[in-house]
Amino acid sequence: MNEKEFVSLCKKTVAEYANEHLDKTDGKQITADDVFIVWMCKTLQNSKALASTTLFDGMYYELTYNGDKKELYFDAYKKWENKAIPVG
């Protein structure tokens, strides 16, 4: 799978997941255009990406493509806190 195909698969997968978990009473749906890749790498036949959406829900997603097995692994996370910790 090339980079363009991987990015497209990631965006489609995240948009579908987000839409399945949105509150139906909000009447809100997103598309792949509302998903952005924060970080991505490829090592040999495997690819990994961190993604988020334009929604204000604090969610981010990790997607890993296993090129040997032709499988996509998907993890969804909720950001609970972001704080600075002084060191030294």
17, 31 contact by CB (below 8 A): no
| Residue 57 burial class via C-beta count within 10 angstroms: exposed 0-12, middle 13-18, buried 19 and up | middle
Mean pLDDT, all residues of the chain: 95
Give the model's pLDDT for residue 82.
Answer: 86
pTM of the model: 0.89
For residue range 59-86, list pLDDT tens digits in order.
Answer: 999 999 999 999 999 999 998 888 999 9
- Predicted confidence at residue 68, as pLDDT, reads 96
What percentage of the chain has pLDDT greater than the value 90? 85
pLDDT bin (cut points 50, 70, 90) of residue 43 is very high
Residues in CB range of 62: below 8 A, 6 or more apart: 48, 49, 50, 51, 74, 75, 77
